[in-house]
């Protein structure tokens, strides 16, 4: 199982690979799967060559289901993409899976079959509102399924306060939600906010209430603020600032190198 806690100043940097709609999604373009696979592999190699520790292969679409479920064709396509990313990168490069919005069980299945090392759950505990409706966590189902397919070595990273998850009633601290996520079986938590000071306060909340939980940032970092923000966490998922055409674009190796250099300098 991959280690997410920062060690000796080394922050865990995971680049995002945002996939266009896959087969089984209403906006998939027929004949596009081959290009999707090729672009994902090039992005993964750019991340590895640029010095990142791994990647998260994440589906992107205009509409999502809200349950822990995914169309069979979508799962099959995701397995193909992730398998090729794993095959194209070295054994020390961590590959993660996230089938949006909250198909955690399907993500675990893909990771297990394709040889990925972790999954990310947008809603593991509690509930959150999304543009598609209410998304509810079901940790008992997720952890039971994880055990049933013998995927305990596939790590689980849970959003606890981010663009994908916000505690529905708003009356719990980020740290409290993180504690519940870890109690349920999460191996690390992820959080983010557009306001940098609020992000730092959220990190502090987790450190106080769930001190053993590795904290990864889940967005809003860039080459200018990475040193300050990632310096307070254990690592980060990094997307838009590494992509050639903004969110959803192909990852560029030089952008990865520059971001990694800025963060690594903090620990030196």
**Cα distance between residue 29 and residue 20, in whole Å:** 9
Per-residue pLDDT at 175: 98
pLDDT band at 1, cuts 50/70/90? Answer: low
| Cα angle value 128/81/93 (rounded, 5°) | 85
Compute φ and ψ for 88, nearest 5 degrees: -85, -10
pLDDT tens digits for range 12-64: 999 999 999 999 999 999 999 999 999 999 999 999 999 999 999 999 888 99
Q: What is the total residue count of the chain?
A: 268
Q: What angle, rounded to 10 degrees, do the helices at 253-264 and 33-50 form?
A: 40
pLDDT tens digits for range 57-97: 999 888 999 999 999 999 999 999 999 999 999 999 999 99
Per-residue pLDDT at 5: 87
**Cα distance between residue 144 and residue 28, in whole Å:** 32
The full set of domain ranges for the chain reads 12-267
Per-residue pLDDT at 241: 95
Q: Quick count: other Cβ atoms within 10 Å of Cβ 222?
A: 15
pLDDT tens digits for range 191-226: 999 999 999 999 999 999 999 999 999 999 999 999
Is pLDDT at 268 greater than 70 in this prediction? no
Compute φ and ψ for 34, nearest 5 degrees: -60, -45
The mean pLDDT of 186-190, rounded to a whole number, is 98
Per-residue pLDDT at 88: 98
CATH superfamily of 12-267: Aldolase class I (3.20.20.70)
Cis peptide before 101 (omega within 30 of 0): yes
CA-to-CA dists, residue 263 to 2, 139, 215, angstroms: 20, 33, 15
Is pLDDT at 9 greater than 80 in this prediction? no
pLDDT tens digits for range 124-138: 999 999 999 999 999
Per-residue pLDDT at 267: 56
In the chain, how many H helices and how many E strands? Answer: 8, 10
Is pLDDT at 231 greater than 60 in this prediction? yes
Q: Quick count: other Cβ atoms within 10 Å of Cβ 51?
A: 16
**Cα distance between residue 162 and residue 76, in whole Å:** 28
pTM of the model: 0.96
pLDDT tens digits for range 139-152: 999 999 999 999 99
In a 10 Å sphere around its CB, with 0-12 CB exposed, 13-18 middle and 19+ buried, how is residue 163 labelled? middle
Per-residue pLDDT at 265: 76
Is pLDDT at 3 greater than 60 in this prediction? yes
């Amino acid at each position: 199982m991959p280690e997410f806690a920062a060690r000796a100043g080394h922050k865990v940097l995971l680049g995002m690979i945002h996939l266009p709609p896959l087969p089984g999604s209403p906006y998939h373009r027929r004949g596009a799967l081959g290009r999707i696979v090729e672009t994902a592999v090039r992005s993964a190699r750019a991340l590895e060559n640029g010095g990142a520790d791994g990647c998260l292969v994440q589906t992107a679409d205009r509409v999502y289901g809200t349950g822990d479920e995914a169309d069979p064709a979508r799962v099959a396509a995701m397995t193909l993409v992730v398998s090729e990313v794993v095959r194209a990168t070295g054994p020390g490069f961590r590959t993660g899976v996230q089938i949006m919005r909250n198909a955690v069980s399907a993500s675990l299945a893909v990771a297990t079959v394709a040889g990925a090392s972790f999954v990310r759950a947008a809603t593991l505990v509690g509930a959150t509102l999304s543009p598609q409706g209410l998304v509810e966590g079901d940790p008992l189902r997720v952890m039971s399924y994880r055990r049933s397919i013998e995927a305990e070595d596939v790590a689980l990273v849970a959003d606890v306060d981010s663009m994908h998850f916000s505690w529905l009633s708003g009356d719990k601290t980020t740290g409290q939600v993180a504690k519940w996520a870890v109690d349920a079986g999460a191996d690390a938590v992820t959080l983010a906010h557009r306001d940098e000071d609020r992000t730092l306060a959220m990190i502090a909340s987790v450190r106080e209430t769930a001190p053993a939980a590795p904290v990864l940032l889940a967005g809003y970092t860039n080459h200018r603020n990475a040193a300050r923000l990632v310096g307070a966490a254990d690592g980060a998922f990094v997307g838009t600032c590494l992509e050639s055409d903004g969110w959803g674009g192909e990852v560029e190796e030089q952008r990865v190198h520059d971001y990694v250099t800025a963060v690594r300098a903090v620990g030196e």
